[in-house]
Amino acid sequence: MRFLTNPSTDPWYNLSFDEYCLEQYPSDDSFFYLWRNRPSVIVGLNQNVYTEVNLDYLDAHGICLARRSTGGGAVYHDLQNLNYTFVGREVSPAPVVEALQRLGVRAELSGRNDIFVDGRKVSGYARRVWRDRELIHGTLMYDVDLDTLTHVLDVPGSKLTAKGVASVRSRVANLKTFLPGLPSIDALQTALQEILAGRDAELPFGAEQKAAVQRQREEKYATWAWNYGQSRTASLVRRAALPCGRVEAHLEVDRGRITSVRFAGDFLGDWPVEELEEQLTGVRFERNALRESLDAAWVDQYFDGTAAEDLLGLLLGA
């Protein structure tokens, strides 16, 4: 199969590259490419980032958040994860499974959108159809940091929290375990590239095409409106013991902004908390915007002895 080369590790550029290849790249034949991302969480098109991702952990560890144009769940990528994309008519992940089998891995398609080895998940994939073509892209965990994977998707009420760390680790596996003859992810990428490409040649991808991908990255995939603002209504409850007493924050967040907030608890304060609730309504539900609003709000008058940073931590679930 013919192929493209994409050396970028920028998740926003790479997701833009996917969309460009599906909708604009001029090829009548199916093609593929292998690629990697720096540490990032990639959420599905229809997901709410506030209920699926530990955003405070991402912020503290410099991990990127990106939203793809395909459905499915949130996944963690780092440079020890290899991604694949197929574009064309009636494409499938079967060539990846067959390539892994040729490398001695007992891989099989299982469930709705997974690849398993010996009962453990090593890959998930998603699909998008555009006119008469479709795109399938997926992950191949070679030596992914499972501790970080656990933390980034560990949010209150999430499936990960409900099932616990032990059960998640029992379901997923790194391919490194099954490929003792391939000592690095670079070796895996080279081997898969050779098997999937066969004797077919690389396709061209010129400067103008790269510029178009970069423009779409800047105008869509790297924007707050796409990554956060696409999140539909979420109901969140945050609880903490603060210097003023126990405080609960009941939040409604829609398209990345607070549409309603109500505080409850046994806390003490001089000013009616309804004033602060009104001030926070309409604010972007992200650290910098919330900090700016709270810094200007005289928080300790609503919550005795409580600093703006303490209330910020409560709202973000830190």
pLDDT value for 51: 85
Digit-coded pLDDT (tens) for 108-134 = 998 778 999 998 999 999 999 999 999
- Higher-scoring residue by pLDDT: 261, 156: 261
Q: What is the mean pLDDT of the chain?
A: 92
The Cα 235–Cα 82 span in angstroms is 35
pLDDT value for 3: 98
The Cα 67–Cα 12 span in angstroms is 8
Q: Is the pLDDT confidence value at 170 over 70?
A: no
Q: Looking at residues 29-57, what average pLDDT do you find?
A: 93
Confidence of residue 50 (pLDDT cuts 50, 70, 90): confident
- Higher-scoring residue by pLDDT: 138, 166: 138
SS3 track for 90-145? CCCCHHHHHHHHHCCCCEEEECCCEEEECCEEEEEEEEEEECCEEEEEEEEECCCC
Q: Is the pLDDT confidence value at 12 over 80?
A: yes
Contact predicate 290/308, CB 8 Å: no
Query: Which tokens in the block code for residue 212?
Result: 């178009």
Q: Is the pLDDT confidence value at 268 over 60?
A: yes
pLDDT value for 156: 62
**CA distance readout (Å), 223 to 9, 45, 118, 219, 220:** 18, 14, 40, 7, 6
pLDDT value for 167: 41
The Cα 312–Cα 22 span in angstroms is 41
Q: Looking at residues 168-180, what average pLDDT do you find?
A: 83
Confidence of residue 157 (pLDDT cuts 50, 70, 90): low
SS3 track for 32-61? EEEECCCCEEEECCCCCHHHHCCHHHHHHH
Q: Domains along the chain?
A: 2-226 (3.30.930.10), 234-316 (3.30.390.50)
Q: Looking at residues 25-37, what average pLDDT do you find?
A: 96
The Cα 42–Cα 208 span in angstroms is 27
Contact predicate 173/141, CB 8 Å: yes
pLDDT value for 171: 84
Confidence of residue 56 (pLDDT cuts 50, 70, 90): confident
pLDDT value for 232: 82
Digit-coded pLDDT (tens) for 272-298 = 999 999 999 999 999 999 999 999 999
Residues 76, 225, 209, CA angle at the centre, nearest 5°?
Answer: 75
Digit-coded pLDDT (tens) for 242-259 = 999 999 999 999 989 999
pTM of the model: 0.84
pLDDT value for 234: 84
**Residue 167: Cβ within 10 Å count:** 10
